Every structure is written in C-alpha cells, then in structure tokens.
C-alpha cells in the first residue's frame, strides 16, 4: 500500500468513527427528549393531583364552615341581646341618676 492509499484509508476509518459516534448520540438525544417528556407529564400529573387535593380541601372547609356559621350566628345574637340589655340598663341608670341629682338640689333650694 502506498502512502496516499494509506492516508485515504485512515481518513475513511476516521469518518466511520465519527459516523459511529453520531449514530450513538441519536439514541441518547432521543432518550433525553423522552425523559424530558416523561418529566413534563409527571409534573403535570402532580399539578393535577395538587389541584384535586386543593379542591377537595376547599369543599371540606366550606362544608365544615356551614354548621360553624350557625353557631356564630347564635353567638352573635346572644352577644347583641346582652349588649342591648347593657345599654338599656346604663340608660336607665343615667336617667335615674339625673333625677336623684335634681331631687338633691331641690332640697337645697326649698323655702
């Protein structure tokens, strides 16, 4: 073999090695793309699971709040009636105090 044919053979082998390397990269790239797709699907699946869990938690909170709202309304009614009673008694006390003061002054100015 001559040097020229040897160089051509070496170049051919080098090109073949490059081609083999490129062929090896194709499955790796496809595998990376498949892994990215799988990861994206898994993430979306987790998002759906989180969305459904949040929806269920919201529904449970609303259902649990209905009886509590009834208790709160009863408590609020009792609180307002106690406040009304306190205001009525305070008003009566102030009115009677004014009458007592007027009666005390009346004794002072009696002729």
What separation, in Å, do the N-terminal and C-terminal C-alpha atoms of the chain show? 155
Q: What is the pLDDT of residue 37?
A: 65
Residue 88's pLDDT is what?
A: 93
Which tens digit of pLDDT belongs to each residue from 77-91? 999 999 999 999 999
What separation in angstroms does the CA of 52 have from each of 23, 73, 101? 44, 31, 71
Structural domain boundaries of the chain? Answer: 1-82
9-48 pLDDT, tens digit each: 666 666 766 666 665 555 655 566 666 666 666 666 667 7
- pLDDT value at position 66? 85
pTM of the model: 0.39
């Amino acid at each position: 073999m001559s040097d020229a044919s040897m160089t051509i053979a070496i170049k051919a082998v080098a090109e073949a090695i490059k081609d083999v390397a490129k062929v090896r990269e194709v499955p790796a790239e496809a595998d990376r793309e498949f892994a990215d797709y799988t990861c994206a699907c898994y993430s979306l699946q987790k998002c759906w699971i989180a969305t459904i869990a949040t929806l269920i938690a919201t529904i449970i909170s609303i259902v649990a709040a209905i009886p509590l709202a009834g208790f709160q309304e009863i408590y609020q009614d009792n609180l307002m009636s106690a406040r009304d009673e306190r205001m009525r008694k305070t008003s009566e006390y102030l009115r009677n105090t004014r009458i007592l003061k007027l009666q005390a002054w009346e004794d002072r100015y009696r002729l």
